Amino acid sequence: MIAFGTAITDLKAYDRYAAPGIALASEPDSKMFAHQGTGSLFRNYNLILDLARKIDDLEAVALVHQDAEIVDDDFCAKIRDALADPEVAIIGCAGALGVRGIAWWEGALTWASFTHRYEELGGGEFPAAAWDPNYMPSFAETGEVDSIDGFIIVMSRWAVDNLKFDESLGKLHGYDYDICMQARSAGKKVVTVDFRAVHHHNLTLISDPDTWIEAHIRLAEKWDGRLESSPELGDWRTRALRAEAEAAVSKGQMVSAQMRGAAIERQLARVEKSASWRLTKPLRELRTRLERRR
């Protein structure tokens, strides 16, 4: 039996996105743990795992963000196919190789079968690399990765029984990278699978850079020596880690600005078709300010 779990801080988001997706993907005997969020995401996911461990016939548990929507009615079948390999512990729909920290996008992306939908600026979406099977890049391939994007994390029975989210690391960032590193350090596999999902998220990818940077540093220190090409930092260790984190944040913010710029262009095109040029002035001014920041 495959169970589902969500830590809820926004009931409207859960009812609109996660709940319908789980209803689509679940089977008649699937159990659902909709946990009202208390404290950190790490803590809430651990509480869900505590409940899942009590299920005798549990095969896996899918931890789904409240703003994530599974749009694949073959979800459970695809998860079972992946779990046919007993060494598989963690499954996601997006991941990368060569990941050295919580900025998984800094690695070599190998698979991403989701799309990012937003509501600002008239709404729209940014499909990830493997979302559209008609436009699949040559590098796209499911299989073993270093880390996944944790907006949907599937954990095998072994992972549920043997792994735990490290609550000392913070409240939100890095939980996915850390659980992947735990699995890999135990000799298990982290893999991507071609299940389809939608991440309903605003265009601000990193809302609190300072908190994200601190999480990056804590995770890098925790897994020092297990990261590929990890340099000997000596007395400069903290500065080097912070510089690495700040560079990753800058890249995330740049991508966010690019997405927002593209969204503005889309909205301008829509407005220009139905309104006078005068009405587009606020959007054109916003576009100019964003371009100056790049």
Task: Output the CATH code of domain 2-293.
Answer: 3.90.550.10
In whole angstroms, what is the distance from residue 75 CA to residue 77 CA? Answer: 6
Q: Which residues contact 112 (CB under 8 A, 6 or more apart)?
A: 93, 94, 95, 128, 129, 130, 131, 140, 149
pLDDT reported for residue 185: 96
Tell me the pLDDT of the chain (294 aa) as tens digits. Answer: 999 999 999 999 999 999 999 999 999 999 999 988 778 999 999 999 999 999 999 999 999 999 999 999 999 999 999 999 999 999 999 999 988 888 887 888 999 999 999 998 888 999 999 999 888 888 899 999 999 999 999 999 999 999 999 999 988 899 999 999 999 999 999 999 999 999 999 988 787 888 888 888 889 889 986 645 333 334 445 555 555 665 665 566 666 666 666 777 777 677 666 655 565 667 667 777 776 766
Q: Which residues contact 171 (CB under 8 A, 6 or more apart)?
A: 39, 40, 41, 42, 211
DSSP string, 138-205: TT---EE-SEE-TTEEEEEHHHHHH----GGG-SSTTHHHHHHHHHHHTT-EEEE----EEEE--S-S
Q: What's 262-274 look like in SS3?
A: HHHHHHHHHHHHH
Give the full edge-to-edge strand order of the sheet including 197-200: 68-70, 197-200, 114-118, 124-127
User: 62, 154 in Cβ contact below 8 A?
Assistant: yes
Largest CA distance in the chain: 65
In whole angstroms, what is the distance from residue 278 CA to residue 241 CA? Answer: 48
**Helices and strands, number each (H, E), in the chain:** 9, 14
Task: Give residue-wise pLDDT tens across range 109-150.
Answer: 999 999 999 998 888 999 999 999 888 888 899 999 999 999
Q: Which amino acid is at 244?
A: E
Torsion of CA 121, 106, 167, 231, to 10 degrees: -150
User: 89, 164 in Cβ contact below 8 A?
Assistant: no
User: 100, 228 in Cβ contact below 8 A?
Assistant: yes
Strand partners, 275: none
Instruction: Enumerate the domain spans of the chain.
Output: 2-293
198 CB burial (10 A radius; 0-12, 13-18, 19+):
buried
